[in-house]
Chain A
Amino acid sequence: MSAVLIASTDVARARRHRSWTLLSGLVLVGTVVLVALISLVWLPYAPADTTGTRLEAPSGTHWLGTDKLGRDLATQLMIGARIALVVGLGSVVIGAILGITIGLTAAFAASWLDDTISAALDVVIAFPVLLLAMLIVAAQGASLGSVIVAIGLAMSAVVARLTRVLTKRVLGEQFVTAARTSGTRWPGIVVRHILPNIWPTLSVNLALQFGVAVLAEASLSYLGLGAPPPNASWGRLLQEAQGTVITAPVGAIAPGIALIMLVIGVNFIADGLRDVADPARKGSR
């Protein structure tokens, strides 16, 4: 009796904890999304204008102060939000489409092809995402598009490997055999049984990858390989503020906090997603 009581309060606590993480994740990411949306219709100043003196402290006219050329920091931060979200979303879409396709191919392929793909994925994954993205950006030139493609390609290897493993596991399940005995063809099995069953795990991973992509873009920009100004990303802002971090710390702290907010936010959402996507876990079990 008491064990049951303890178990049920544990479940209740776990559920409360989960909804807490999901909620705070949504608030954090929602803030960034809201700022990005506002930036599309309204900005405090034109991003390239030197509207203040150099390195102003935060004030009523410049909420976060100005950078070393006198440009408004709040404006640049808002544009950065837009870039961070576009990069995260774009590379996750590319990584997901490519990764799921490769992963499914490997899972269904004859063993020699499966082995070849897996070995190739292992090699790609052995490279840090950042290094791989640097190579691609270096070859294609620094633009927002090539940054997204680069991060997406690097991400697709991780997604492919996960997809392959998850698919193989589902393929071994009896309900796949059962679906085949009733005459379902392989494409039908992939769409109706395999994708829905790997999605709970995959979606959590994709949400985490979103955070990785945002950080990778910030790092690329920090290294000077990101999108060029005046559409500067948060990583670029960090780099610009680096030299004056002692005298004007807001320039580095503000984009830093923005990055942390977004990445922690998506990680919280990833945590919460797991439960939403899996009905067996939501129920009374």
Chain B
Amino acid sequence: MTLLSVTNLGVHTDAGTPLVHNLSFDLAAGERLGLIGESGSGKSVTSLAVTGLLGAGLVATGSVLLDGVQVVGAAERRLVPLRGRVASVVFQEPLTALDPLMRIGRQVAEPIARHRGLRGSALRAAVAEALAEVSLDEARISRAFPHEISGGQRQRAAIAIALGSRPRLLIADEPTTALDVTVQAQILRLLDELVDARGMALLFISHDLAVVSAMTRDVIVMSSGVAVERGTIDRVLSAPEHPYTAQLVQSARGLDDMLGTR
């Protein structure tokens, strides 16, 4: 059984404005897939629709089978067991994705306690282990509030939280966009290693071709809510079929040339 099977997914607002149209893809356990597109192309809405977390005023149609469970139109009660256990999400902006009034240690502890049923000293050990796994082994981090640590450390903490529930699918929604370039590389390497080590499936969402190419082999290019092209990242970069992809690749290359990096 495919871990995540999206068929003809559509998302539109109450008023009828379409955000995602007729999107289909499959993701088997342990596989990776990149979703590329400019902001407003429907990438993040897709990630929310997959976990059944679309906000008020957004309606999903079509079918999303997450571990065999239909997510579209499902009751909250059916979705809660899937979240964390089957799929976890790492968000773009770690400062807003962390509760400002809760110490990092407690935020990391929560999914671990819930999904693995640990308490007391076993829980404390698991939290320390989870933080060490994302290279946050300074003792002070666990006691710190989110505003007291750096952006990169916050995103590491967010990753530790997302992985604490031992998900089989990790959805990374622009996880490095809010970070500076050197930290970006570290976070990407960390994600890459963790996804590999645990054999997780990865749905990686980004507007950045270079970042996606570092993480996944297969990509879907989205524009205005429609998947305009799909294939391996090498093929998409070297021989884009759709005019939008060509434009995307060209502008990325143009930026690289301008910076003189390649």
Of A180, A193, A278, most buried by chain B (CB within 10 Å of CB) is A180
Decide: A192 and B91 in contact? CB cutoff 8 A: no
> Does the CB pair A196–B51 fall under 8 Å?
no
Check A283–B147 contact: CB distance below 8 A.
Answer: yes
Taking the closest CB of chain B, its distance from the CB of A178, in whole angstroms, is 4
- B84 contact set on A, CB distance < 8 A: 181-183
Closest to A174 in B: B96
Residue total for A at the interface (Cβ-Cβ under 8 A): 23
Q: Which of A13-48 contact B (CB under 8 A)?
A: none
A60 contacts the other chain (CB 8 A): no
Whether the pair A197, B101 counts as a contact (CB closer than 8 A) is: yes
Q: How far is the CA of A192 from the CA of B89 in the complex (A)?
A: 19
Do A183 and B81 touch across chains, with their CB atoms under 8 A apart?
Answer: yes
B99 with A184: CB separation less than 8 A: no
Q: Quick check: is A177 within 8 A (CB to CB) of the other chain?
A: yes
Q: Is the CB of A173 within 8 A of B96?
A: yes
Quick one: which of A181, A185, A200 contacts B88, CB cutoff 8 A? Answer: A181
In the complex, the chain A residue whose C-beta lies closest to that of B145 is A279
| Separation of A180 and B85 alpha carbons in the complex (Å) | 12
Residues facing B in A198-245 (CB within 8 A) are: 200
Q: Identify which of B48, B91, B101 contacts A196 (C-beta below 8 A).
A: B101
Chain A CB within 8 A of B193 CB: no
Whether the pair A183, B145 counts as a contact (CB closer than 8 A) is no
Cross-chain contact of A182 among B81, B111, B145, B148 (Cβ < 8 A): B111
Chain A residue numbers with a CB within 8 Å of B145 are 279-280, 283
A200 closest partner in B (C-beta) = B101
Stretch binding the partner chain, chosen from B132-140, B156-164, B222-230: B156-164
B162, closest chain A residue (CB): A182
Q: Is the CB of A184 within 8 A of B161?
A: no
Is B33 in the interface zone, CB < 8 Å from A? no
- Supposing A180-B53, A283-B148 touch, asked if A175 and B99 sit within 8 A by C-beta, the answer is yes
Contacts of A278 in B (CB 8 A): 101
Q: How far is the CB of A156 from chain B (nearest CB, A)?
A: 25
CA A280 – CA B114 in complex, angstroms?
Answer: 27
Q: Quick check: A280 and B147 within 8 Å, CB to CB?
A: yes
Q: Which residues of B contact A173 (CB under 8 A)?
A: 96
- Selected contact of A178 from candidates B98, B115, B165, CB within 8 Å: B98
Complex interface: chain A residues within 8 A of B162 (CB): 181-182
Task: Specify which chain A residues have a CB less than 8 angstroms from the CB of B48 in the assembled complex.
Answer: 177
Report yes or no: B158 in contact with A192, Cβ–Cβ below 8 A: no
Is B114 in contact with A178, judged by CB distance below 8 angstroms?
A: no
A-B contact pairs, 15 of them (CB 8 A): A175-B99, A178-B98, A181-B51, A181-B53, A181-B89, A182-B84, A182-B111, A183-B82, A183-B114, A184-B110, A196-B101, A279-B101, A283-B145, A283-B148, A285-B147
Q: Which 7 A-B pairs have the closest CB atoms?
A: A183-B84, A183-B83, A174-B96, A181-B89, A182-B84, A178-B97, A182-B111
